[in-house]
Amino acid sequence: MHLVGDSTLGFDTRAVHAGQPPDPATGAVVTPISLATTFAQEGVGGHRGYEYSRSGNPTRAALEACLASLESARHGLAYASGLAAEDSVLRLVPSDGRVVLGNDAYGGTFRLIDKVWGPYGLRWTAVDLTDVDALAAGWPEGTAMVWLETPTNPLLSCIDIAAVCDVAHSHGALVVVDNTFATPYLQQPIALGADIVVHSATKYLGGHSDVVGGFLAVDDDGVADRLRFTQNAAGAVPGPFDCYLVLRGVKTLGVRMDRHCANARAVVELLLHHPQVERVLYPQLADHPGHVAAAKQMRDFGGMVSFRMRGGGESAKRVAAGTQLFTLAESLGAVESLIEHPGVMTHASVAGSPLEVPDDLLRLSVGIESATDLVADLEQALDRA
Ligand SMILES: Cc1ncc(COP(=O)(O)O)c(C=O)c1O
């Protein structure tokens, strides 16, 4: 039974099996962690698919096949981190080319584009991608790539992937979708027309706050070849143990996401009715930016919730410091609930840029604990803010 690419199987079946047949040598049902850096050749140049572990590794190959299957993509490439994956993608842009990115995005992505690639000539324009008509009308000259997150980090705005693809492709630009927040369980950008899907596997794919990793899904052979070349030539690959941890996490992705979404809804219900909360940001809410796009392209609305405090920045910081079950920490997407203040923490690098986030904003990564405990914890912190 070889399940790679068998798109007739359900998502959860592929999460458990795709790319991971029982080990032919031993029958082991768990993909072995192949630590070898080099592989014996039967004659000069005669190898069995693996030569050297930077170029290809069996545990990494299993992960790449599994995640590609979940994204319904023909190719998958694993990296040492989400930013390493992003860095490889940005190498596809010509040296004087432009990237259009959403005006709400992970701070590290902006830092990579502006501070790392900017000095090499990369130009960027930040736009509100929830307004696709404005993107079409004001298409920035020289744009080679549109980079979008949906839902965005940290405001959770949702962007119509198919509509952005129509505009970008009419100008010959590639569309990159960071699918970290949604995961392939909730949203499949390749099926909506995207050229490249980016993941911080550190988040929901790994799911247990114990591995840093990145991933790209691609359908086009030519784009995949260029990325595969850079993956080997620049070498930002994950180690076999890290690949194993992501593979292990992904087996429960669908089950975890269902609970993340249900718990997020319980938390949103509390926030909507709490007098200290000025505004709740969650894609399911009818007045949320991009709600219509989210309802169209997502299976459910995700485990991330942001909200703004009526009492401003100091009040937000008191809530962040006042929870007990929600751990005050960066990152997201794992089984345990986290709270953070984006302006000071994850998004400090966008201060003063068009991507700056409000000081009264808090972001929750709602975990899979008992919903009643999470709601009670948040309520006591809000009551004391
Ligand atoms: C949406 C998003 N994309 C990319 C990244 C970068 O991933 P990594 O931290 O694995 O390099 C992050 C990290 O927080 C993120 O939130």
pTM over 0.95: yes
Instruction: Give the nearest ligand 1 atom to 213 CA.
Output: 10
Tens of pLDDT along 182-206? 999 999 999 999 999 999 999 999 9
> pLDDT value at position 354?
87
Residue 3 binned pLDDT confidence (cut-offs 50, 70, 90) = very low
Tens of pLDDT along 46-94? 999 999 999 999 999 999 999 999 999 999 999 999 999 999 999 999 9
Instruction: Give the nearest ligand 1 atom to 331 CA.
Output: 14
Q: CA-CA distance, 273 to 278, in Å (whole number)?
A: 10
Q: Which protein residue has the closest C-alpha to ligand 1 atom 12?
A: 200
Q: How many CB atoms lie within 10 A of CB 28?
A: 10
The Cα-based distances of 244 to 32, 33, 88, 111 in angstroms read: 8, 6, 22, 29
Residue 270 binned pLDDT confidence (cut-offs 50, 70, 90) = very high
Judge contact between 110 and 65, C-beta under 8 A: no
- 105 pLDDT higher than 50: yes
Percentage of the chain lying above the pLDDT 90 cut: 94
> pLDDT value at position 2?
47
Ligand 1 binding pocket mutation candidate from 101, 104, 111, 153 (most atoms within 8 A of CB):
153
Task: Kindly name the residue from 60, 203, 317, 363 that is annotated as catalytic.
Answer: 203
Q: CA-CA distance, 215 to 200, in Å (whole number)?
A: 7
Q: Which protein residue has the closest C-alpha to ligand 1 atom 9?
A: 82
Give the pair of three-digit tokens for residue 195.
Answer: 């050229």
* Secondary structure class of 48 (helix, strand, coil): coil
How far away, in angstroms, is 8 Cα from ligand 1 center?
31
How far away, in angstroms, is 84 Cα from ligand 1 center?
10
Dihedral sign of CA atoms 83, 213, 88, 305 in order: negative
Of 192, 298, 198, 205, the C-alpha closest to 243 is: 205
One-character DSSP codes across 121-182:
T-EEEEE-TT-HHHHHHT--TTEEEEEEESS-TTT-----HHHHHHHHHHTT-EEEEE-TTT
Instruction: Give the nearest ligand 1 atom to 83 CA.
Output: 11
Strands (E), the chain: 75-79, 98-102, 123-127, 143-149, 174-178, 196-200, 214-218, 277-281, 304-309, 327-328, 338-340, 361-365
Active site residue 203: yes
Give the pair of three-digit tokens for residue 121.
Answer: 């000539």
Active site residue 106: yes
- What's the first-to-final CA gap in the chain, in angstroms? 56
Ligand 1 site: residues with CB under 6 angstroms? 81-83, 106, 108-109, 149, 153, 178, 180, 200, 202, 212, 214
